[in-house]
Amino acid sequence: MPPPILDVRNLHKNFGAVTAASNINVSFTAGETVGIIGANGAGKTTFVNMITGYLKPTRGAILYRSREITGLPPRSIARLGICRSFQVSQVFVSLSVLENLLTAVAIASSPGLGMLRPLRRPELIERAERIMERYRIAAFRDQLASELSQGARKLLDIAMAVAGGPKILLLDEPTSGISTEEKQPLMDVVMEALKQDELTILFVEHDMEIVERYVDRVLAFYQGEVICDAPPAEALRDPKVQEFVIGGEYQAGGGHA
Ligand SMILES: Nc1ncnc2c1ncn2[C@@H]1O[C@H](COP(=O)(O)OP(=O)(O)O)[C@@H](O)[C@H]1O
Ligand SMILES: [Mg+2]
């Protein structure tokens, strides 16, 4: 086994009396695609926030390539190669698709100074255009982000998250707010684009068909604990996952019951 790219040890997070993460021990291998599932309030976003530096754990450690990153600010963690998208899209609605990507590319290429440098340098435009092609949003290049469909806006959001060439990408509910028909085509584009970079992907997802189709491994959360860590076929049949996550509504391989 190669050493893990990300190693989470005894991670714990309290919000007052609420335990949002409890004794989480899990490690990830480079190139894995991992689905994070769990009912609302189970601790999925808290987990993502701690890994990406948006929340400091109450205790425990996070190691990225054997280096401790626990409690570092989000920008430092992003610079090391761990990037994310949010549950609610973070694109600048009053900028065009190209301008949004140029901003992301500029920030990634000169951390801290990105916004101060001229954005329209040819090499930045070229890079932004390459990303647009891969995420199939080149047709909307000069449209305002506010005019995009939910699906295209999500693609832009994810494209911006990878502008800095991360090694690990965390996506918090990438298909939330997307219609059922749009979900699978959206994830096809995202996964195909991400696979080209051999990224390690952790994504929070409620749709078990999406989970079953795209992930190598499932982490199921319940009340801040990981209650199952297994390949999707196994995880979706796990009695605890059935009871606390799926509620018996979904049968692996058979769609919705
Ligand atoms: N900033 C916060 N302050 C207080 N409680 C929070 C905060 N963030 C999350 N929580 C609580 O922690 C638990 C886990 O929340 P969260 O990680 O957002 O769950 P999920 O993403 O799985 O829906 C919930 O009980 C939630 O109310
Ligand atoms: Mg959440």
The string of pLDDT tens digits covering residues 35-48 is 999 999 999 999 99
| 26 vs 62: CA distance, rounded Å | 10
Amino acid at 15: F
pLDDT over threshold 70, residue 251:
no
| 241 vs 39: CA distance, rounded Å | 10
Q: Which of 12, 45, 51, 55 to mutate to test the pocket of ligand 1 (most atoms within 8 A of CB)?
A: 45
Q: Tell how strand 200-204 and strand 217-222 pair up.
A: unpaired
Q: For residue 48, which atom of ligand 1 is closest to its CA?
A: 17
SS3 assignment for 69-131: CCCCCHHHHHHHCEEEECCCCCCCCCCEHHHHHHHHHHHHHCCCCHHHCCCCCHHHHHHHHHH
Q: Residue 221 C-alpha to ligand 1 middle, in angstroms?
A: 12
| Confidence at 255, pLDDT banded by 50, 70, 90 | very low
Per-residue pLDDT at 164: 85
pTM: 0.91
Per-residue pLDDT at 106: 83
Which DSSP letter does residue 144 get?
Answer: B
- Domains, the chain, ordered by start: 1-81+166-178+196-257 (3.40.50.300), 89-165 (no CATH)
pLDDT over threshold 80, residue 256:
no
Q: Could you read off the pLDDT of 101-154 as tens digits, one per residue?
A: 998 888 877 655 545 555 678 888 999 999 999 999 999 999 999 999 999 999
| 152 vs 137: CA distance, rounded Å | 7
| 33 vs 212: CA distance, rounded Å | 11
Contact between 57 and 21 under an 8 Å Cβ cutoff? The reply is: yes
Q: Which of 11, 12, 18 to mutate to test the pocket of ligand 1 (most atoms within 8 A of CB)?
A: 18
Lining residues, ligand 1, CB within 6 Å: 15, 18, 20, 38, 40-46
Contact between 217 and 230 under an 8 Å Cβ cutoff? The reply is: yes
Q: Whose CA is nearest to atom 7 of ligand 1?
A: 15
Q: Tell how strand 18-28 and strand 6-15 pair up.
A: antiparallel
Q: For residue 21, which atom of ligand 1 is closest to its CA?
A: 14
Q: Which of 112, 98, 237 is nearest to 246 (CA)?
A: 237
Per-residue pLDDT at 108: 78
